[in-house]
Amino acid sequence: MKKFVLAAAAVLFVMPAVQAADDPVATRKAIMQSVAASAGLSGGMMKGEIAYSPAAGKAAIASLNAAALSFGAFFPAGSEAAPGTTASPKIWEDSAGFAAALAKFSAATGAAAQASGKDGPADVDALKAAVGPILASCKSCHEVYRVQK
Ligand code: HEC
């Protein structure tokens, strides 16, 4: 019985990883949803709608940085035709240009992570300085490498 429970637990544990590897479109969309959530949290604090805390600023920046570093790994050939994707075929036609857009994104998130230090940006002005350049990269990438469906 104990063995069976352990085996069942192992199967449950392994399945999400298999799903992620098999579904790059769902993975890259989930990464972008986390980017949007972190941008929303940062924007809310910048506007004063959400009370600022350095820990929240740090969480937003760390998740943006992880997203920028991992996002580019989920664009295998052929996935431009997958149902539900808004990735533009330009990503595959101009892979050097897309790599440059990703590099711009991760340069901005990396600089923010570095500037935010161990405890996160000290105040809202420090958050604005760190996150502003990251928010500026959303539109320029989407305009070229995303299609509206
Ligand atoms: C380097 C390019 C790039 C950058 C920078 C970028 N995105 Fe995206 N984003 C994409 C692509 C490509 C898709 C389409 C993914 C798909 O549908 O397969 C996307 C999709 C999205 C989606 C839709 C996710 C879904 O569930 O379909 C949201 C929301 C989003 N991005 C928000 C943002 C925000 C906010 C920022 C800036 C903080 C940002 N993105 C920066 C390329 C980028």
- Atom 28 in ligand 1: which residue has the minimum CA distance? 32
- Residue 129 belongs to domain with CATH number: 1.20.120.10
At residue 90, does pLDDT exceed 90? yes
Percentage of the chain with pLDDT > 70? 85
| Structural domain includes residue 120 | yes
Looking at the CA of residue 91, tell me the nearest atom of ligand 1: 12
Residue 33 structural domain: 24-145
Q: Give the tens place of pLDDT for each residue, 63-87.
A: 999 999 999 999 999 999 898 999 9
In a domain, 8, yes or no: no
Q: Check residue 6 and give left, alpha or beta (phi > 0: left; psi -120 to 50: alpha).
A: alpha
Total domains in the chain come to 1
pLDDT at residue 105 greater than cutoff 80: yes
| Closest-lying ligand 1 atom to the alpha carbon of residue 98 | 1
pTM, two decimals, is 0.88
50 belongs to a structural domain: yes
Give, for ligand 1, the residue of 23, 25, 27, 32 to mutate: max count of ligand atoms closer than 8 Å to Cβ.
Answer: 32
